[in-house]
Amino acid sequence: MPKFYLTTAIDYSNGDPHLGHALEKVGADCIARYRRLRGDQVHFLMGMDEHSQAVVQAAEQNGQSPQAWVDLMADRFAEYWRRLEVSHDDWIRTTEPRHRAAVTELLARIGRHNPDDLYVGDYEGLYCTGCEEFKQPAQIVDGHCIEHPTLELVRTRERNHFFRLSRYRDTLLDKIQAGDLRVEPAIRRNEIVRLLEDGLQDISVSRHRLSWGIPFPGDPDQTVYVWFDALINYLSATGFPSPGYERLWPADLHVVGKGITRFHCVIWPAMLLAAGEAIPRQVWAHGYVQWEGTKMSKTAGTAVTLGEAIERHGPDALRYFLLREVGFEADGNFSWDRFDERYTADLADGLGNLVSRSLAMIAKYREGVVPGGRDETTLDRAGLEATEAYGKAMDSLDLRGGAEAAWGLVATANLYIQQVAPWKLAKEGREAELDTALAALGRALHRLAVLSGPFIPGKATDIWTALGAPGQPSDAVWDTLATPPTEGLASRRPEALFPKPASV
C-alpha cells in the first residue's frame, strides 16, 4: 500500500475557527477519505500553531496564561473538527515537546550541512502583526499588507538570526519546473515562479527575547521566529529526528490557503534543502470563503459563525456545500440563500429522495431484499461513467468535479425511476423487468454511498446501512464499484436523510 502523508495548515490559537478554516479541513478530509478508498495508507495531520504573539495577546485579553489559553483553544478547534467528521490521524501542537525537539534538530542540521546559511544581522522593515512577518514591497498595497488591509504596518529594527534564503532561488525554480515540487492550482504555481524569478531576500528567523516561543539554539536572547517554528510541525509529526521518520516523510500533500503559498513553496522547501532533508511533493493552495465578496477572517469580521453554519442543515450538508458550491480552488461565495437552495435541490430532493423512493419500492415489492439482476441497464452504464469521471476529478484534487460526477448519478437515477416506472411494472406483473430495475437501483445506491462518502461521511453511512450492506462505505474496495455486490441484501427504508425544515 503506498503511503499518503497529507497535512493542513496549523491554525493560530487566537479565536474560534470560521468557515475559511472549515473549508480547508473539510477539503483535506475529503481528499484523505478518497485516498483511503483508493487503498493508500493515509496519514492525515492537523494541529495548532501556538507560539505567535497574537496568542499571547489573546491570552492576556482573556485573563489567562498562554499555556492555559492554547489548551482551551486546541480543545475548541478539535471539537469543531469532530462535529464536522474530520478524520485526521494525528493532531500536533507546536507547544509539544516532540515539536520543540524537531525544531532544535532541524536548525542544528542546517548548521551542520550548510553553516553559512544561518548568520546574525540587523533587519529593518515594515512588519505586519497579522502575518507576523516583515513585508516585501510587492506584498504592500496602499501602505497596508495585502492580507490585512485594516492593520497598520509597523517599522521595526532588530538584530536577528538570518536564513540565507536567497541561495535557494535557482534550485527551487528548477524543482518546481521539473515537477519535483508540484504547486497547484496553476495560478498559484505561476505566482510562485514569478516571485522566484524576481529574486529572494534572506529572511530573519529569530525574534529578540519573546517569552512565548522556542529559544534559538545557542542564543538564549533570541526566540525562533514563529513561522520558521510553525512550518516544522509537518516534520515533527513524523517523529523526526528519531529513526523511522522517513516512513512518512516527505509529505505527499500540504493543503494550505492561497495567502501562505510563499511560506510553503519557497521558505519551507529551502529550509529542508538547507538541512539535507527531502522536500514535500505537492502543495495545494485553496481560495477563500467569501461572505458577500469579503474574505471571511477574524480581522475582516465574521457575518456567520461556524457553529451556525453547522446547525443550519447539519455537518454533512455544510461539507457538501463548501466543496460543491464554494469550491476548493478559487475564492467562492457563501450565502444562506445558496446554501438553502443546494440543500433542497441536491440533498433533500436529490439524493435523499432517491434513497427513500428506491428503498420504499424494494420494501414494497420485494420485502426489502435487494434483487439480483445482471442485465446491464442505462443506470449501470451511467454508474460506471460517473465512477470514472469521479476518480479522474478526485485524482487531480478537483473536489467540485468529484461531487458533480456523484450527483450527476443521483439525477440520472431519479430520472431512471420516472422512465422505468417500477410501480407500472408491478401492476402489470412484469416481475423480471421489475427485478432488473430494483437491482439497478440497489447498485446505484451502493455506488452513491461510496462516492459520496468523502463529502458526506455521516449520511453515506446511513445510506449504506439502510441498503443492508455490511460495515461502512469507507470499508468498500474501489474495484467493487464495477459490479456492486448488492444482491440479497436486507434493506430497510431509512428515516428522511435530509429533512426539509419548515423555513426552507
88, 135, 145, 313: which one is catalytic?
145
In the beta sheet, which residues pair with residue 122? 159
CB 106 within 8 A of CB 271: yes
Distance, in Å, from the CA atom of 371 to the CA atom of 432, rounded to the nearest integer, reads: 10
Catalytic residue among 21, 43, 264, 286: 21
Contact 478, 39 (CB under 8 A): yes
d(CA 199, CA 3): 35
Respond yes or no: is residue 313 known to be catalytic.
Answer: no
Kindly give, in sequence order, each residue whose CB lies less than 8 Å from that of residue 50, ignoring residues fewer than 6 positions away: 13, 66, 70, 73, 74, 93, 94, 95
Least distance in angstroms from the C-beta of 131 to Zn ion:
3
Binding mask 70-109 for Zn ion (x = CB under 5 A): ----------------------------------------
**Minimum CB distance to Zn ion, residue 67 (Å):** 26
Site for Zn ion in 106-165 (CB under 5 A): 128, 130-131, 145, 147-148
Q: Looking up cell 436523510, which residue turns up?
A: 497
Task: Give yes or no: 148 in active site.
Answer: yes
Secondary structure class of 145 (helix, strand, coil) = strand
Closest distance between Zn ion and the C-beta of residue 132, in Å?
8
Distance CA 397, CA 318 (A): 19
Q: Which of 51, 128, 286, 446 is catalytic?
A: 128
Cα separation, 342 vs 350, whole angstroms: 10
Q: Are 94 and 51 in contact (CB under 8 A)?
A: yes
Return all residues near 265 (Cβ < 8 A) that are at least 6 apart: 172, 176, 181, 183, 188, 192, 283
Pick the closer one to Zn ion by CB: 130 or 402. Answer: 130
Contact between 224 and Zn ion by CB under 5 A: the answer reads no
> How far apart are the C-alpha atoms of 396 and 128, rounded to whole Å?
35
**Least distance in angstroms from the C-beta of 149 to Zn ion:** 9
30 as an active site residue: the answer is no
| Nearer residue to Zn ion within complex by CB, 13 or 104 | 13
The nearest distance, CB 299 to Zn ion, in angstroms, is: 9
**Shortest distance (Å) from residue 49 CB to Zn ion:** 15
**Strand, coil or helix: 503:** coil
Q: Is 18 a catalytic residue?
A: yes
- As given in the structure block, the three cell numbers for residue 357 are 423512493
**Interaction pattern, residues 426-445, with Zn ion; x per rule: CB under 5 A:** --------------------
Quick one: 130 or 352, whose CB is closer to Zn ion? 130
| Catalytic choice (88, 131, 254, 459) | 131
Choosing from 43, 88, 148, 254, the catalytic residue is: 148
To the nearest whole angstrom, how small is the minimum distance from the Cβ of residue 228 to Zn ion? 17
**131 is a catalytic site residue:** yes
Q: Are the C-beta atoms of 267 and 261 separated by less than 8 Å?
A: no
Supply the angle between the helices 306-313 and 66-83 in degrees, to the nearest 10.
20
Contact at 8 Å (CB) between 414 and 349?
Answer: no
Which residue's CB is nearer to Zn ion, number 139 or number 414? 139
Q: How many residues bind Zn ion (CB under 5 A)?
A: 6
In terms of CB distance, is 56 or 128 closer to Zn ion? 128
Could you report how far apart the first and last alpha carbons of the chain are, in Å?
45
Q: Which is nearer to Zn ion, 299 or 333 (by Cβ)?
A: 299
- Comparing CB distances to Zn ion, the nearer of 54 and 309 is 54
Q: Which residues are catalytic?
A: 18, 21, 128, 131, 145, 148, 295, 298
Interface residue list for Zn ion (CB under 5 A)? 128, 130-131, 145, 147-148
